[in-house]
Structure 1
Amino acid sequence: MRPVVEIAPGAWFVQRDWLSCNHFIAKLPQLTLIDTGYKDDLQETIAVLRSFDVEPADVDLIVNTHCHCDHAGSNRYFIEQSGCDVWMHEEEKRRIDTRDDIATWWRFHDTWADFFKVDKGLRENDEIRFGSLVLQVIYAPGHSRGLMILYAKDLKALFSSDAIWQGDMGVINPIVEGEDALDRAVETVERIEKLNLEVIYPGHGPIIHKPKPVIDRLLRKLERYYQDESMMHMDHMKKMIAYYVLTQGRVKEDGYYDYLLRSVWFPRMVDRYFDGRYESTYQAVIDGSLRSKMIVRDNGYLYGAGKI
């Protein structure tokens, strides 16, 4: 059963697994869906809506925290079904408008979504009506150059997307997001730290009811990245391998290394950060992912944790 929490009158949080992001749903003043999930996970997203007696054709507005495939992958479907508007930060809007499938990470990580029309680019301090709440847009670059998070001041609540999860965050990708991506991520978490918060509703994982220790833990992790950036890049590769395995259901281990060599992201990262040591880096990533249980191995296949 999916964890569903009514955040405030007419506004709900729905926790998903790691293939698709968590959802936020409000029926008034218009039927609004914050983030739509991975496109191949669409039937589960539709089931979420129907649990609220809502059909895809009923959606009036999609608000995307950013344009990665697990947050915006089903946008095209909902637009086709309902003619709904799409809002996101103006930096992400530019990426969609220019059909930049590297900046969106879709071609970069071979985790695809369909392009779509963005009706409005949002900026810092713009406001969104969401059920009984007024959500303030906070620009939160780091994980993505155009990431935005949403602050419900009266509720002391933050919809944090991938800027912070339970002691972690979305991967930091300087190749796509710029060499200052780590600096921007730290600045974003420090801004979160200064907010008057009692609860964080993240883009992945469970609700955070005690934000301060979670924020402190993430800041310590980011500080370790400054001391040894290879940790950041290894974290990136482990998470992307685990995510790709989830998108496929399972991956045959024999041949997976050769597939990664043909990808965009793996050779670029190994050339830049690991001196072109492809085989040893691959083995280190797989071994680390298995140890941390991000993936599991069974009978010649790799699975996302808990998917055997």
Structure 2
Amino acid sequence: MDLRLPPSLHVFERGWLSSNNILFTGRHDTALVDSGYVTHAPQTLALVRQALNGRPLGRLLNTHLHSDHCGGNALLQATYGCHTAIPALDADKVAAWDEEALSYRATGQQCARFGFDATLRPGDSLELGDLSWRVLAAPGHDPHALLFFCESEGILISGDALWENGFGVIFPELAGEPGFAEVGATLALIASLAPRVVIPGHGPVFANVADAVARARARLDYLSADPVRNAQNAVKVLLKFLLLERRALALEGLPGLLSAIPLVERVRTALLAMSQDELAGWAVAALVRARAARIAGGQLLDV
């Protein structure tokens, strides 16, 4: 299994609350791809500062603008004044700081306001860590998400389009927009690139890409066969995210907490046909069954 990475490329594998961060230290430039969640921003800054060893951070890029991938942007910008590039189709939302359109309000998540200096579009070319990278579209999990591919090294930065075991929640389907077909097309694109190694948005760097794509396709088939499954998965993921952020949640307050998340409430009424109490009970049981949480003293606790 060939997991070799160039010496100018450094991966900070983070927990699931924050995305992985990819730091490039080229001869004449430095850059970071994705900055984690806002509550982990000081840790992100500390990791970057230690690795740079006195060098400034010149550039910051985002694969997509979900809160766990750009929550450290503001602190990094304030610290380094780094040139920041974001997906072009999200530029107007960021300029206006429309938290509804950016999904932060809909998912009940936080993100410190940040700005940008440039935009990224499919077909763009980048130089990162003295290597050439292509920008490719990766719709599905997020309609405006991007991939970065270095053909000479066979390295793919996949964001949440492909993990070693799956991919990110297919959010567009929950808002009544297409997403299943887009995930399939993105997986087909990744397979056609035949990368040697993938740096995912979450989880370890991996090399058995064909097997990962096969697992992702099987997962997509399972979810798309019954949209309720995708909705249930989203509720579990959003509750787990809250648990990762807060570490403990009072059980008696969960129905109200979940109902205050607009996306969860939409899913509950449109797809799941459960009461608020039923949904909270189901989601807690699902996380406990998956050993992603435990109950003690009237609280749901992270594990």
TM-score grouping bracket, smaller chain normalisation: over 0.9
Q: What number of residue pairs does the alignment pair up? A: 300
- Give the C-alpha shift of residue 213 in structure 1: 0.9
The CA deviation at 1:295 is: 2.2
In the aligned structure 2, how far is the partner of 1:163 from the partner of 1:227? 19
Unaligned runs of 5+ in 1: none
User: C-alpha deviations, 1:124-176, integer Å up to 9, x for none?
Assistant: 12112111321111110111121101111111111111001122111111267
CA distance in 2: counterparts of 1:194 and 1:293, whole angstroms: 36
Residue range with higher mean Cα deviation, 97-106 or 11-20: 97-106
Counterpart position of 1:83? 81
Contact 1:8 1:133 in 2 (8 A): no
Aligned pairs (5 A) from 1:29-68: 29-54=28-53, 58-68=56-66
* Aligned residues of 1:8 and 1:132 also touching (Cα < 8 A): no
Match of 1:135 among 133, 150, 161: 133
Letter in 2 for 1:241: L
Deviation at residue 97 of structure 1 after TM alignment? 2.0
Which deviates more, 32-41 or 178-187? 178-187
Q: What is residue 259 of structure 1 aligned with on the other side?
A: 257
Structure 1 contact 102–176 (Cα < 8 Å) conserved: no
> CA offsets per residue over residues 189-226 of structure 1, 9 Å max, x none?
11111112111110000111211111101101101122
Q: Could you tell me which residue of structure 1 aligns to residue 211 of structure 2?
A: 213
Q: Which amino acid aligns with 1:67?
A: L
Q: CA deviation at 1:177?
A: 6.0
- Rounded Cα–Cα distance in structure 2 between residues aligned with 1:288 and 1:150: 35
Question: Secondary structure at 2:78's aligned position in 1?
Answer: helix
1:151 is aligned to 2:135: no
Amino acid across the alignment from 1:275: A
| Structure-2 change in CA distance of 1:34 and 1:233 (3 Å) | same
Matches within 5 A, 1:260-279: 260-279=258-277
CA RMSD of aligned residues (A): 1.8
Contact 2:256–2:276 (8 Å) recurs in 1: no
Equivalent residue letter for 2:51: F
Does 249-258 or 13-22 show the bigger shift? 249-258
**Contact 1:127 1:137 survives alignment (8 Å):** yes
1:73 counterpart residue number: 71
Provide the TM-score with structure 1 as the length reference.
0.92
Q: CA deviation at 1:230?
A: 0.8
Q: Which shifted more, 133-142 or 292-301?
A: 292-301
Q: 1:205 corresponds to which letter in structure 2? A: G
1:1-308 map, 5 Å: 7-28=5-26, 29-54=28-53, 58-174=56-172, 179-305=177-303
Deviates most, 63-72 or 294-303: 294-303
| Maintained 8 Å contact 2:34/2:69 | yes
Distance 1:176 1:62 in 2: 30
User: Offset of 1:111 from its aligned partner?
Assistant: 0.9
SS of match in other structure, 1:194: helix
Taking the aligned partners of 1:52 and 1:294, their CA distance within structure 2 comes to 32
Give the SS at the match of 1:142: coil
Whether the aligned pair in 2 keeps the contact of 1:86 and 1:118 (CA below 8 Å) is yes
For the residues of structure 1 that align with 2:4 and 2:145, how far apart are their CA atoms? 24
TM-score for the superposition, normalised by structure 2 = 0.93
Which amino acid is the alignment partner of residue 209 of structure 1?
A
The CA distance in 2 between the partners of 1:43 and 1:122, in whole Å, is 26
**Where does the alignment leave 5 or more consecutive residues of structure 2 unmatched?**
none
Bigger Cα displacement from structure 2, 61-70 vs 276-285: 276-285
In the TM superposition, residue 243 of structure 1 has moved relative to its aligned partner by: 0.6
CA distance in 1, matches of 2:61, 2:249: 32
